[in-house]
Structure 1
Amino acid sequence: MNFKFTFLFFLLVSLSCYAQNIKVLNSDTNEPVLGVAIYNIDKSKSVITNFRGEADINIFSENEAIYFKHLSHLLKMLTKKDIDKTNRIYLVSNTQGLGEIVISASKFEQSKRDIPQKINTETLSDIQFANPQTSADLLGNTGQVYIQKSQLGGGSPMIRGFSTNRLLITVDGVRMNNAIFRGGNLQNIISIDPFSIEHTEVTLGAGSVIYGSDAIGGVMGFYSQKPKLSLSDSLLFQSNAVVRYSSANDEKTGHFDFNLGYKKWAFVTSATYSDFDDLRMGSHGPNEYLRPEFVSTTIEGDQVVTNSNPLVQRFSGYNQLNLMQKVSYQPYENLSFDLGLFYSTTSHFPRYDRLIRYRSGTLRSAEWNYGPQNWLMSNLQITKLSSSSNLYDKIKATLAYQNFQESRMDRDFQSSIRNIREEAVDAYSFNLDFEKRLSLKTEMFYGVEYVFNKVWSEGEEENISTNTISSSVSRYPNGASWQSAAAYSSIKYKPNPKFVLQSGLRFNHVISEADFTENNAYLNLPFDSSKNESSALTGTAGISWSPSNILQWRLNASSAFRAPNIDDVGKVFDSEPGSVVVPNNNLKPEYAYGGELGLKLNFNNKLLLDLSTYYTYLDNALVRRDFSLKGETEIVYDDEWSNVQAIQNASKAWINGFEVGLKMNFSNNVHLASQYNIIGGTETAGNIEVPVRHVAPAFGNTHLAGRFGRLKMDLFANYNGNLTYNELTPSETEKDYIYALDGNGNPYSPSWYTLNFRAQYQVASSTTVMASLENITDQRYKTYSSGIAAPGRNFILAVKYSL
């Protein structure tokens, strides 16, 4: 029997005293849910729903309290007397989060309502209905994560004024950030296959106590499909196949996954392949976004060719393959072993923003490609429960290995020299996390972590005329290492159901080492090696208080840090036309101090409001600034005189914002939901203050959604404010080639909106059809700081078949 579920559960039931068997259904798919545990308060009586989602509750007396639990998530207490004559109960989401469970706040399951920080969750049904092309698009659908794109094969999240290496990405609890995560826009998130994700958790705000360095602005947690064990003697087999097409980039995607479940062993296999052609932009918008011409390379050399359709962004297409294999072994009820293997690879994909730069009136680059972006991860997680240990009730050990490979290849127009730079990172990590209930009111979470990264980097110059290759400066010092050791502890105190206090501390020590001997043949640095050591103590404290059924207050204060990584200490690259970034061996960590106040209002589940305001101060900020090498402010890099720059602790920043979410339930089937975010911030640049680079314009969305039997529909609008020339940071105004021009000829980021419609129809128990029409009015727009224009009018069709 097909099994689909969401992680956000709440029970909405009325059952009858005459019922014998009840049936548990998923409210989004109306399908049976197996494995729901039903029991009384002392667990002396219990029953589990079978493969039809049914259970006999005659073992319970009429007024006996009955608890329902699914995947360790407590759903609701009912009595047999409350049972409705339909004999059905539904697992449903609840906007207020009363029954939602989150993992990322402590690495163990907690009620979302107890967490003083704001966490946005997307369930399996949310993801399937949104039907995103990439995991970056998945986060963008939340309305609280802003997505920048330099090219079609990309997506760089921004959260509350922070981006790239000031945000942390985790997959099944393992940190994805590595030693070469950069401060510029970062595209690694597309390596995560949205078809393999069961749910996401985005922590808005600092998460350094649990996750250490980089978690300044937020934590994006992706949790993949879990292998499902059989609850009977027979094999549990489930499978899904999806095909999808979208018109804006002629996307062709195929996906399949299947689950084999035995009593103690379970296996999940998943594979997705996508092919994307050049992206078409909208018809109505700034002419500066058009692609009037491009460079074509033939045997005769490079030529500038007129684009027959300037709405088509030549060249932006690419393809991608994602594979996942997971194995679960549970020899005993209190012990489990989980192994996960992930692999993602892309074709070469053009960095589109570099292809539209001009120099002296002519397109500058004949080619600018990222090589295949490869990501391999294997992780083993061992979980043990204990009712007798004085140290823990639950212990979780996670051992992981990751390998990242990326490269860059660029060649100037009519140049015979192709610059090639290749990088790889081996990343090892070990986490040991404990959960212990100290009393009925107090829980403790604590653990240790060790991370080690090794960086490999090479630089070459290829002469395409003579087919000869020579060595060149590499992007990073070859053989550099970055390691981190940490210990943390967090306390949760809940004296009554209305009040929760959580606080924690983490101590982190980070060491990075690099040898610049090879690159000194080209750069003539004043040092041959560097060793950077830094320690950080961070903390958090917050309360969640619900004085009534209507009100819930959240108050949280925290500190966070980011230690310099190899990208900060040792990178060599052209940051912008005419500038080159060089290594700096004199760096310290940057620290963030922030606070958040939140208020949730629930008026009888008819109207729900979620309000938040926050403030963050970033001290000793690592930023790119002008620099000198042995007194020289310019050097030759890739045959061009370039201004010397370096990452430095040369700034402070102040960021504040306000977020408001609304949901109106017109009936059990129809609701209106809206989210709006306002962000502001400045940072120091010398003796003046300038806008913070990754502070996005005001943005939000509004959805009118409903479910009518097998049909689910959503009419929604996305909207975005503008940033004037004076509101852009100087590093953005220098990239005028990606922006529209105002009346004075200055670059700016215009406001925009899109109208969209999506629908999902369950044709049969095994077949679901999903269709969307995005950007109905065919607007031509770019999200802030993006090099590539967003899709124009886009028709998406997907068919899912399940067994």
Structure 2
Amino acid sequence: MTRILIVIVICCTTLLSHAQTVLVRDAQNLQPLELVTIFTPSSTISTVTNVNGKSTFEEFKDKDSIYFRLIGYENQLLSYHQIQKQNWEVLLEPSELSLDEVIVSATKWKQGRRETPSKVSILKPKDVTFLNPQTAADLIANTGDVYIQKSQLGGGSPMIRGFATNRVLITVDGVRMNNAIFRSGNLQNVISLDPFATNRAEVIFGPGSVIYGSDAIGGVMGFYTFEPILSHNSKQLIKVRANTRYSSANNEATGHIDFNLGFNKWASFTSFTHSNFGDLRMGSHGPDEYLRPEYIVTRNGVDEIIQNNNPQIQTPSAYNQLNLMQKFKYVPNNQWQINYGFHYSESSKVDRYDRLILYENDTLSNAEWYYGPQVWIMNSLNIQHTATTKAYDHFHIIASYQHFKESRHNRSLNSTSIKHRTEKVDAFSLNIDFEKNHGNGNRLFYGIEAIGNFIDSKGIKENIITNEHSPTSSRYPDGSTWFSMAGYGNYLYKITQKTSLQGGLRYNYIVLNAEFNNDFYDFPFNEANLNTGALTGSLGLIHNPNENIQLSSSISTGFRAPNIDDTGKIFDSEAGSVVVPNPDLKPEYAINYEAGAAFIVAKKVKLDIAAYYTWLTNAMVRRDYQLNGQDSIMYDGELSQVQAIQNAAHARVYGIQLGMEFKWKSGISASTRFNYQKGREELDDGSYSPLRHAAPWFGITHLSYEKKKMKVDFNLQYNGEVPYSQMPDSEIGKDYMYAIDKNGNPYSPGWTTINLKSQYQLNSILMATASIENILDERYKTYSSGIVAPGRNIILSLILSL
């Protein structure tokens, strides 16, 4: 009997030994790390971790030198017994200064920066925590490579390489956010995203249509929210994080809490954020044209113009926002992973500040102009599978449903009627993506995509005295639909160990249907139908002479198919103009040439540069138009110039992006990001104008000190002037938004702000941040913005982590 027990014990010990695994995680966010190479230099023993960060480990028994290596992380050398003492868990620290960073957005799969020919900006989890931004728009601006325009406090429209709005793409956890009513005017959809639930952000510059399809002309902004964390053992993993934030410029009060509950095979992550923003105060030193001397208040149906006691307060601009996120993760084994995510965002009404400062005959023009509560809901299901087959090594399916609700409400001064126009979009998408390793570093990425958008659009006119309601024209054709179907392939080929070639193709087929209601307008057509295809491609060459140098060049094409906003919209683009539907639109195409280089010198200095040239053809632009032979019609009681979106132009943009980073062991570091771009829009009639969304040169310079529990960052943010001679035609007519030069013409002044941010780890669970932005209290606007930027702004925040 004793012998039998001994045999059983030996067998069990042997089985346990052979079942021994090691878990590798990110030291900052504890997420499991896939594709970590584990090896010993003295033998041929090596392995890699799976999608759950695990790998078998019995072959390394009693080894003294075991290396853990992953792109974007510091290498770690440990002995077998050290790992055993750590309960078979290894934590890797992200690299501070390296050309080896992991990128997801470029191909939808983890890929090294050295394998990516495109220019990429990354905000890592550590960066996001330190920046502690007010909105997601402010977060992405901190890359130093994305320019943000704001028409109102509850806004933020990114400009990338001369393109913006529906020519740049937003993704959330791999799901396309752009929908069929994304407009060419400035967008505020990005503020629906919760910066406190965002773990990481990436910006891929230049056309990304091979991977993402329509709209990805200027670039792709990928936001990645926090994921549930498994415990990977028998104990529950409970993590709680709470954050409070206050900023003085608009009396912001933000509260955030998130909660992670992890077990061995499943985990849950819950996030809640509520923000309340008061009216924004501008700076004291700058153009008097930006001041707010008066505003309108309505009492008992009567409009009154009120003198502003403090013209630096931008009344009304206050709003509030609620964000919820719930995620579940289930990992039944090493091959399968199932993720479900729910996002909910709702704002209060947001006053369109740039419309409320508009004057007509020396009197404020609009008594009310606001966006109704903006609602965004997303449900997504992500199923991942890992297996070595002839067709793939990894695949994932992402099925999503999004619901968007937005509305516009406007009433002229002393009018008794207010127009309410409400839009709802139900957006469905299905993506199936595959990755196949072909040995020697060669990899194939391919997949299919299907998207459907269904639009509900209503218009109501209300009498503010009697509360009577009557129908009015809607902004879009009610019941219109937009569909996209596509297939793509992208291949990474290792020519040599130092040189790679990456190329891809995508074919998209777009179907649009819209029926017009002639109850309010006499359209010469009843419907718009679009059936069109688009073929796009990319080819990039990457050469890495050594670990400190990367050279790249690429050519890529992008496209934007007409959407419902282009073909069916009816709205007042500006005072005295109305945009009407145009059913004869075609896709626009861009071709982009790019060359880049990055160097690390003496392990202390990193330099990078990217130069690009983009040519946009068949560009959809707003131009004068005729409806039934008439160039003007009555719209909302005003005779207005008829305009329509037309394929009537082409555009060119060229520029450079520069970056420098310095790091010393003393904890001192410095960095600079600088962007210069020029754009020109050329009409088919031979006339031309500077491109509206080509921002002036801009940049940010940091000087930081980080040691143990403390980090301090001193930075300068700066922006060049746009003189009257370089103002786009579309902006010259908005002189009420700009400063006035010595000749009486509108222009956008350059500006510089001085800012200081600090962070201190009080103890193991408490972290405090304190910042002073715009220390000199400058009064300035970012180019094309309706609202003035914050004046001197004190920001305080306390973060609790358990």
- TM-score (normalizing by structure 1): 0.92
Distance 1:241 1:683 in 2: 48
Partner of 1:621: 619
**8 Å CA contact 1:433, 1:447 repeated in 2:** yes
Distance 2:665 2:642 in 1: 62
Distance 1:94 1:418 in 2: 55
440-449 vs 305-314, greater mean Cα deviation: 440-449
Question: Quick one: which amino acid aligns to residue 421 of structure 1?
Answer: R
Question: Quick one: which amino acid aligns to residue 701 of structure 2?
Answer: T
Q: Counterparts of 1:336-415 in structure 2 under 5 Å?
A: 336-387=337-388, 389-415=389-415
Which deviations, in whole Å up to 9, do the C-alpha atoms of 1:164-212 show, x marking residues without a partner? 0000000010000000000000100000001111101100111000000
Partner of 2:478: 478
Distance 2:549 2:405 in 1: 49
**8 Å CA contact 1:24, 1:91 repeated in 2:** no
**8 Å CA contact 1:23, 1:32 repeated in 2:** no
Q: How much does 1:263 deviate?
A: 0.8
SS in 2 for 1:209: helix
Q: How much does 1:113 deviate?
A: 1.7
Partner of 2:200: 199
**8 Å CA contact 2:480, 2:515 repeated in 1:** yes
1:701 is the counterpart of 2:700: yes
Taking a change above 3 Å as real, the CA distance of residues 415 and 768 of structure 1, as seen in their structure-2 partners, is same
**8 Å CA contact 1:320, 1:346 repeated in 2:** yes
Partner of 1:634: 632
Partner of 1:682: 680
Q: How much does 1:681 deviate?
A: 1.2
Sequence identity, in percent?
48
Distance 1:270 1:689 in 2: 49
Partner of 1:781: 780
Distance 1:488 1:89 in 2: 36
Select the residue among 588, 599, 613 that pairs with 1:590. Answer: 588
**8 Å CA contact 1:323, 1:342 repeated in 2:** yes
Distance 1:439 1:44 in 2: 16
Which deviations, in whole Å up to 9, do the C-alpha atoms of 1:377-409 show, x marking residues without a partner? 00001100112x111100111100000000011
681-690 vs 746-755, greater mean Cα deviation: 681-690
**8 Å CA contact 2:23, 2:32 repeated in 1:** no
**8 Å CA contact 2:24, 2:33 repeated in 1:** no
Partner of 2:96: 94
Partner of 1:467: 467
**8 Å CA contact 1:67, 1:74 repeated in 2:** no
SS in 1 for 2:608: strand
Partner of 1:112: 113
Partner of 2:190: 189
Partner of 1:159: 160
**8 Å CA contact 1:699, 1:720 repeated in 2:** yes
Question: Quick one: which amino acid aligns to residue 371 of structure 2?
Answer: Y
Q: How much does 1:24 deviate?
A: 9.7
User: Could you list the runs of 5+ residues in structure 2 that have no partner in the other structure?
Assistant: 1-21
Taking a change above 3 Å as real, the CA distance of residues 558 and 44 of structure 1, as seen in their structure-2 partners, is closer
Partner of 1:40: 39
Q: How much does 1:667 deviate?
A: 2.7
Partner of 1:10: none
Q: How much does 1:606 deviate?
A: 1.5
Partner of 1:18: none
Taking a change above 3 Å as real, the CA distance of residues 43 and 240 of structure 1, as seen in their structure-2 partners, is farther
**8 Å CA contact 1:150, 1:353 repeated in 2:** yes
Partner of 1:19: none
Partner of 2:334: 333
Distance 1:564 1:24 in 2: 46
Question: Quick one: which amino acid aligns to residue 747 of structure 1?
Answer: P
SS in 1 for 2:545: coil
Distance 2:113 2:712 in 1: 27
Q: How much does 1:40 deviate?
A: 2.9
Distance 1:193 1:780 in 2: 28
Partner of 1:738: 737
Distance 1:645 1:300 in 2: 33
SS in 1 for 2:96: coil
Q: Counterparts of 1:267-278 in structure 2 under 5 Å?
A: 267-278=268-279
**8 Å CA contact 1:25, 1:91 repeated in 2:** no
Distance 1:453 1:543 in 2: 36
SS in 2 for 1:546: strand
Q: How much does 1:89 deviate?
A: 7.9
Question: Quick one: which amino acid aligns to residue 102 of structure 1?
Answer: I
Question: Quick one: which amino acid aligns to residue 423 of structure 1?
Answer: E
Partner of 1:4: none
1:224 is the counterpart of 2:225: yes
Q: CA RMSD in A?
A: 2.5
Partner of 2:753: 754
Question: Quick one: which amino acid aligns to residue 601 of structure 1?
Answer: F
**8 Å CA contact 1:255, 1:270 repeated in 2:** yes
Distance 2:787 2:637 in 1: 27
Partner of 2:419: 419
SS in 2 for 1:643: strand
SS in 2 for 1:333: coil
Distance 1:89 1:256 in 2: 25
Which deviations, in whole Å up to 9, do the C-alpha atoms of 1:130-159 show, x marking residues without a partner? 110000000111110000000000000000
Distance 1:141 1:733 in 2: 29
Select the residue among 570, 579, 597 that pairs with 1:599. Answer: 597
Question: Quick one: which amino acid aligns to residue 740 of structure 2?
Answer: L
Partner of 1:59: 61
Taking a change above 3 Å as real, the CA distance of residues 60 and 185 of structure 1, as seen in their structure-2 partners, is farther
Distance 2:196 2:48 in 1: 34
352-361 vs 110-119, greater mean Cα deviation: 110-119
Taking a change above 3 Å as real, the CA distance of residues 90 and 364 of structure 1, as seen in their structure-2 partners, is same
Question: Quick one: which amino acid aligns to residue 740 of structure 1?
Answer: A
Select the residue among 647, 650, 655 that pairs with 2:648. Answer: 650
Q: How much does 1:68 deviate?
A: 4.3
Q: How much does 1:550 deviate?
A: 3.7
Q: How much does 1:94 deviate?
A: 3.2
Figure out how many residues of one structure are paired with residues of the other and give that number. 768
Taking a change above 3 Å as real, the CA distance of residues 154 and 56 of structure 1, as seen in their structure-2 partners, is farther
Q: How much does 1:499 deviate?
A: 1.2
Partner of 2:9: none
Q: How much does 1:726 deviate?
A: 1.2
Taking a change above 3 Å as real, the CA distance of residues 401 and 46 of structure 1, as seen in their structure-2 partners, is closer
Question: Quick one: which amino acid aligns to residue 453 of structure 2?
Answer: N
Distance 2:576 2:31 in 1: 60
Distance 2:68 2:786 in 1: 53
Partner of 1:8: none
Distance 1:357 1:89 in 2: 56
Question: Quick one: which amino acid aligns to residue 94 of structure 2?
Answer: V
Partner of 2:314: 313
Distance 2:480 2:301 in 1: 42
Question: Quick one: which amino acid aligns to residue 129 of structure 1?
Answer: F
**8 Å CA contact 1:278, 1:313 repeated in 2:** yes
Question: Quick one: which amino acid aligns to residue 378 of structure 1?
Answer: N
Distance 2:303 2:780 in 1: 30
Taking a change above 3 Å as real, the CA distance of residues 360 and 43 of structure 1, as seen in their structure-2 partners, is farther
Q: How much does 1:785 deviate?
A: 0.2
Distance 1:26 1:221 in 2: 20
Distance 1:763 1:550 in 2: 37
1:727 is the counterpart of 2:720: no
Which deviations, in whole Å up to 9, do the C-alpha atoms of 1:102-121 show, x marking residues without a partner? 11111111112210001111
Partner of 1:660: 658
**8 Å CA contact 1:35, 1:231 repeated in 2:** no
**8 Å CA contact 1:47, 1:56 repeated in 2:** no
Partner of 2:8: none
SS in 1 for 2:183: coil
Question: Quick one: which amino acid aligns to residue 99 of structure 2?
Answer: G
Partner of 1:9: none
Distance 1:664 1:224 in 2: 29
**8 Å CA contact 2:162, 2:693 repeated in 1:** yes
Question: Quick one: which amino acid aligns to residue 212 of structure 1?
Answer: G
